[in-house]
Structure 1
Amino acid sequence: MPDDKFPFVEPPPVMITPCDPWPPPYYLEDGLRKVEPYHFTYNTYCKERWRGRELLDIFASEFRDRPAAYYEKAIIEGRVVVNGKPVPSTNHIIKNGDMITHTLHRHEPPSTAQPIGIVHEDDDMIVINKPAGLPVHPAGRYRFNSIIEIMRADRSKGWNPLPCNRLDRLTSGIMFIGKHRQAAEEMSAQIRGRTVKKEYITRVLGEFPEGEIVCEKPILQISPKLGLNRVRANGKEALTVFKRMAYYPPKDDEEQPQQKGGEGTGEPKGMAWKNMRGYSIVRCFPVTGRTHQLRVHLQFLGHPISNDPIYANQRVFGPSLGMGGTEDENEEDIMSRLARMGKEEVADAVAYHDEMVDQYNKRKAEKMTGKTCDICDTPLYSDPGVHELGIYLHARRYYCQDGNWDYETGLPDWALPPPGYEGATEPTQESDPLAIDLSKLGLDDGEDKPDEKTTADEASQPASTDEPIAASGAA
């Protein structure tokens, strides 16, 4: 007999995906892994910030993947229901405890067709070389095109890969996949602690300074929805040590000298990036672990990752590319310009060079085509070019400072000497380069305080670009 004060309440009904295709409907085309569109059902409980709000208002304001007109039609036609039942109008008020269900026709973006490399495998752990262009977990617009689901499809439907660290979708390199929970928890604990050291390789604009370059600027998350982070005094502490491995000047450097500033101005003529001749290969040793830490610190130092679609984008940050970002920047303008990338404009990874834009626009790039799906009216995107699926950032090495294990990959192709140049083909081997750097720089007394959720650029993609992760187990 239930207590009058705490009566038993049946949980709201949930709906399940009408079909769960297996094997996943992958196909390869033009160097991309694609997924045939499929129907999928999300179930999510009312969030606290949704209480007392209209159903359409929640969808229109929380999710940016589809226009409000799509959600209005889905509610009217019963593809969005509350507690298993259609609602009388789009103005239906959501209250605490409600279960919201949305069945939709999913269109996943293509990803790279490059296979997932196996660096090491034993009974407990798989160490992989993650390709750029793949998210780790199903999230936002991605489900089957994720590390987890691709590995599951390669092995068996019942296998449950357990990632121990995460890399940003655009980043490649070392990742640890536990085969069982105990192994995953033990490795995750090591990575969160101070016993695991990491080395990344990147390619940046211009001639990066020689020697050990330390950046200790705090980082603040400006917009999780857009994946934007900046150096800000009120951000979380962050520390990275950088060491240049190679510099490759352009071959025409002598014929086309750097531009000089106007007399008495102290400023270069034209755009700031025009004085950034050539590019550098840089080793990165993150001490703390903040979202986009390496990308943000490199931008602040004036040497952003060469093809970073956010932090090296002149259309977003202007002529200086965000160098030495200041508190008085108009963050609303920055976010507005960033939000247009891939919508009204090409989602360009190299648009910081104005004279390259026309040429770039002729290449394949992901943007809205103006067409819609015959089944669900979803706006359709063109395919991204393979060059858009990653940035020049690679997690090359993870190693235990106690010497228990050490895993590394070779340099990616973009970090090797270009044709006609001589240069390093592998980093200088040191017993513990990060410890040496910190000791030389007088930083070894500072405690590493890693973020419990992310390490270096090991952040998942921005928050929901499509739908919330389902509360009832529908991933």
Structure 2
Amino acid sequence: MKGERKHRRPESRGPDGDTPARKAIKLSDHRQEQKDEDELLTAADIYFEEGGLQRIHPYFFKFATHAKGRWVGRTILEVFRSEFRDRPPGYYEPAIAQGIIEINNEKVGPSTVVRNGDLVTHFIHRHEPPVTTQPLTIVQETDSGLLIVDKPGSIPVHPSGRYNYNSVVKILEKKHGYRALHPINRLDRLTSGLMLVGLNANVARRMENDLSSHRIQKEYICKVKGVFPTGRIICDQPIRVIAHKLSLNCVDPNEGKPSLTEFELLSVDDDQMHSVVYCRPKTGRTHQIRVHLQFLGYPIANDPLYCNTEVWGDNLGKNGELPLALPPLSELPTPTDTSAAETPAAPSPPPPAPTEEAKPPAGKDKKVNKMAGTTSASLLTDESRATWGPLVSRMESWKTKQELAILVDVPTDADAPRKCDKCSDPFMPDPTPDQLYIWLHAWRYSGPGWSYETKLPAWASGATEHIDRVKYQKESA
């Protein structure tokens, strides 16, 4: 493993227990300090390539938040064990003792009581997942401040979850020297292709208005399961979000939002197992192309969400049909040489609901709590839980199974340590090439007076000779 990049962490200060009074720290000051530290780092400090993947040196990253109303009067150890369940319970007491968890930038003891207005800080030792070494390509930069880039699969647009520096925004900042970026269209992490990025707020606002008013035409290429029918195929099934945490969306005629996608067959593989399909979404729902293709019975062939027989059954959600009954998932694997205290056995339940007086302000409850690493809960209402609940539960169980299977696959070579000596997290195996992307590519974007496109990806090379036959022409719109 490469040497660790040092991300500065302030020396712990103050007594080991509570004090009569604690200096209040502004969250804005903390954020500026974090930003100043980040700006000192160069691409050479952050990135390296090894084993055919782009990697990030592990580092300490400071997350901070002011104490919530329901934390006040509880010990710091109790708060972290009950609220932040992304780590095993045994992690938090040593972390407090080492000063990895602080209050108001001071080292405290596990019995320190949290007070109203306290700034709680957690220096998390981050191990970012590796991504492809395929470069993020600059297609063009316009005089008006519009940046057009070609994003490889495996890279998320924004820092989120376990990804920070291995994101489009950070790569553009650190490797290409851009600042104050405003992504206009957002591609899924596993999706490749064209992205529009504003270099100033004005161009971003104008392009977003063009997108929302359908003055920008989006064209995608995908590879689906089976032999897709010929001719122009239109799917106008409404789509709704079923569970934000799982990024799961489905066709729902009753509660879905209007959605429309046009499809046309480009080519069929020699083995008649897969087809390359041209896609033209007229609306912009999350996972719209993926969900509509699943509904039609031709899901993207390597899509882990919507082409998954373990979750959807052999019918794979065709025509919006949910599986009535499926055999139970195979037994969850158990890492044999990792203690139960260090191994997640199942998804943790959400933190306790806030009390009436501690409820967040309107519009704030949808934000992700970055310190906890958790996401918002399912959007299911009481009325729809009976319909969608079993599917959501099955998808949650399947994802847990995959996470535990990864732990089982951690190498046991004596020359390769299984766990980090700073945070005791197990070193995860590298993603396989087919886990880095799905067969969905944002190929071409067109707007008033402009058009940009990328080369077709290797998996769609057989469709090159057919693409001019179907691509969008402004004069015919």
TM-score (norm 1): 0.70
Alpha-carbon spacing, 1:387–1:93, altered in 2? closer, same or farther (3 Å)? same
Alpha-carbon spacing, 1:434–1:67, altered in 2? closer, same or farther (3 Å)? farther
Q: Which residue number in structure 1 is paired with residue 452 of structure 2?
A: 407
Q: Which residue number in structure 2 is paired with residue 344 of structure 1?
A: 404
Farther off after superposition, 113-122 or 78-87: 78-87
1:416 is the counterpart of 2:461: yes
Q: CA deviation at 1:212?
A: 2.4
Q: Which residue number in structure 2 is paired with residue 325 of structure 1?
A: 321
CA distance in 2, matches of 1:371, 1:145: 23
CA distance in 1, matches of 2:128, 2:422: 15
Q: Which residue number in structure 2 is paired with residue 386 of structure 1?
A: 433
Q: Which residue number in structure 2 is paired with residue 131 of structure 1?
A: 152
Matches within 5 A, 1:25-424: 25-46=46-67, 65-86=86-107, 88-89=109-110, 97-123=117-143, 124-156=145-177, 159-232=179-252, 233-250=254-271, 278-323=273-318, 324-326=320-322, 327=387, 330-346=390-406, 371-400=418-447, 403-417=448-462, 424=466
Aligned length: 377
CA distance in 2, matches of 1:370, 1:318: 39
Alpha-carbon spacing, 1:160–1:116, altered in 2? closer, same or farther (3 Å)? same
CA distance in 1, matches of 2:82, 2:317: 29
Cα RMSD, aligned residues only: 3.5
Q: Secondary structure at the match of 1:127?
A: strand
Q: Secondary structure at the match of 1:340?
A: helix
Conserved? CA contact 1:54–1:94, under 8 Å = no
Q: Secondary structure at the match of 2:404?
A: coil
Is there any run of 5+ residues in structure 1 with no aligned partner, and where? 1-8, 251-276, 348-360, 436-475
CA distance in 2, matches of 1:53, 1:237: 47
Q: Which residue number in structure 2 is paired with residue 271 of structure 1?
A: none
Conserved? CA contact 1:315–1:337, under 8 Å = no
CA distance in 2, matches of 1:140, 1:287: 30
Q: CA deviation at 1:193?
A: 2.4
Amino acid at match of 1:108: E
Alpha-carbon spacing, 1:328–1:11, altered in 2? closer, same or farther (3 Å)? closer
Q: CA deviation at 1:388?
A: 1.2
Q: Deviations over 1:146-182 (max 9, x none)?
A: 11111112233x7333322211111111111222232
Q: CA deviation at 1:108?
A: 0.6
Alpha-carbon spacing, 1:228–1:328, altered in 2? closer, same or farther (3 Å)? closer
Q: Secondary structure at the match of 1:417?
A: helix
**Structure with more of its chain in helix, by fraction:** 2
CA distance in 2, matches of 1:51, 1:294: 46
Alpha-carbon spacing, 1:61–1:224, altered in 2? closer, same or farther (3 Å)? farther
CA distance in 2, matches of 1:132, 1:162: 20
Q: CA deviation at 1:103?
A: 0.6
1:428 is the counterpart of 2:470: yes
Alpha-carbon spacing, 1:239–1:67, altered in 2? closer, same or farther (3 Å)? farther
CA distance in 2, matches of 1:235, 1:50: 37
Q: Secondary structure at the match of 2:405?
A: coil
Is there any run of 5+ residues in structure 2 with no aligned partner, and where? 1-22, 323-386
TM-score (norm 2): 0.69
Q: Secondary structure at the match of 1:295?
A: helix
Conserved? CA contact 1:12–1:84, under 8 Å = no
Q: Which residue number in structure 1 is paired with residue 349 of structure 2?
A: none
Conserved? CA contact 2:214–2:282, under 8 Å = no
CA distance in 2, matches of 1:384, 1:205: 23
Q: Secondary structure at the match of 2:242?
A: strand
Alpha-carbon spacing, 1:198–1:371, altered in 2? closer, same or farther (3 Å)? same
Conserved? CA contact 1:200–1:284, under 8 Å = yes
CA distance in 1, matches of 2:195, 2:251: 27
Alpha-carbon spacing, 1:328–1:108, altered in 2? closer, same or farther (3 Å)? closer
Q: Deviations over 1:336-364 (max 9, x none)?
A: 233225411259xxxxxxxxxxxxx99x9
Farther off after superposition, 334-343 or 237-246: 334-343
